[in-house]
Chain A
Amino acid sequence: MAAKTLTIDGKQISAFEGATLLQAAEEAGIKIPTLCHMEGVYDVSACRLCLVEVAGVSKLLPACTTRVSEGMEVTTDSERLRKYRRMILELLFAERNHVCAVCVSNGHCELQTLAWTHGMDHVRFDYRSPRWEVDNTHPRYGMDHNRCILCTRCVRACWHIEGAGTKNVSGRGVNSRIISDLNQPWGSSDTCTSCGKCVDACPTGALFSRGSSVGEMEHDRQKLEFIVTAREKKQWIA
């Protein structure tokens, strides 16, 4: 495979052709914030948190789906990027009903952690406070749409790691929501294998094991990465 040379934050690096900017940066030890990205499944650039600046391109590009090219000059941290990342996080908080204090994922939430690591001490936008249901029909797991950020990690884990194809997205814009099978109660799904990979994939408290109380829900994302590495590389690295 041919190699490409480029600069990320002034650092000269080389990456395999076809690698994403996110992979190249990670290889070089440069951390780009992500939310909808998850090791083991393909990227969809849904959350826009990994936006970076590329010299010569006026718009910002998502690092998770932008491929490296020869001579690229990439900036992963700037005043402009920090401003947009914080704004994205504030909009995510304003969009649905995120109440950290009483959430099952309090203290283990990727959204909550990103908020404070990006200087979000309050949300400048008016909260939309939409009315969303909680699907508690599955015997083992629950889905609280109030806490969903539509990253679609559960959908990708369900289709591409488990291969069940239960989870999907229905609707458009602010009315989008995660559904099971043909938009029916999760508990009545014929395809769900109850494997729990969607729950482990969830960055917030939207998907949880039933019976978990405030702060008790810890998602085991490493398990998904482990399965995929074992399957694709035949390496059983825990």
Chain B
Amino acid sequence: MSFLDLDEWLIDLAAAAEIVYSPVMDIKEYPENVDVVLVEGAIANEDHVEMMRRVRKNTKIVVAFGDCAVTGNVTAMRNPLGDPENVLQRAYKDAADVAPQFPLEPGIVPKLTPRVTPVHELVPVEVFLPGCPPPAARIKLLLEQVLAGKSAQLTGANIKFG
């Protein structure tokens, strides 16, 4: 959502970059030879692991976009509870009003990973863009560096968590 705060600059961005993949685009497979990817969210289930490995393989610059991707953030707050089963127990059984049961649809609902991890714990990451959410100006600054072909790096208050 913070990305949309870029307002009219999005039009410039659309002219400068070819958007080849996004969760809201009608493309199923992550393509090959991608220059830059912005990865939102932490690694929390097996689909994420698989997807992120493919993304890494096919992309030159991986940007960990936002605190969840950079640190695990709120999504990693389940880690102190240990086994993911404990989390499911709390959410789907203890707190359930009707029909308490674990969501189980093999092939559709992916299995949770034992721990939620930042992206860089799974695959190497080139650029970190912290913030929850990262302010639009911060996103713009980073994308301008990327578009200019420079090695992107945020500094000072632009790397503040939270």
Contact = CB atoms under 8 A, between A and B. Distances in A.
Q: Is the interface of A mostly helix, strand, loop or mixed?
A: loop
Given A121-B154, A129-B80, A132-B80, A107 B162 contact: yes
Nearest to B115: A129
Interface in A97-128: 97, 99-103, 106-107, 112-113, 115-117, 119-124, 126-127
A198 B159 CA distance: 29
Interface in A103-159: 103, 106-107, 112-113, 115-117, 119-124, 126-127, 129-132, 146
Contact of A101 (B67, B82, B157): B67
A112 B77 contact: no
B162 A120 contact: no
Contacts of B161: 100-101, 112, 115-116
Contacts of A121: 70, 128, 130, 154, 159
A130 B80 contact: yes
A100 B81 contact: no
A101 B132 contact: yes
Contacts of A124: 120
A193 to B, nearest CB: 32
Interface of B: 64, 67, 70-74, 76-77, 79-82, 115, 117-118, 120-121, 125, 128, 130, 132, 154-162
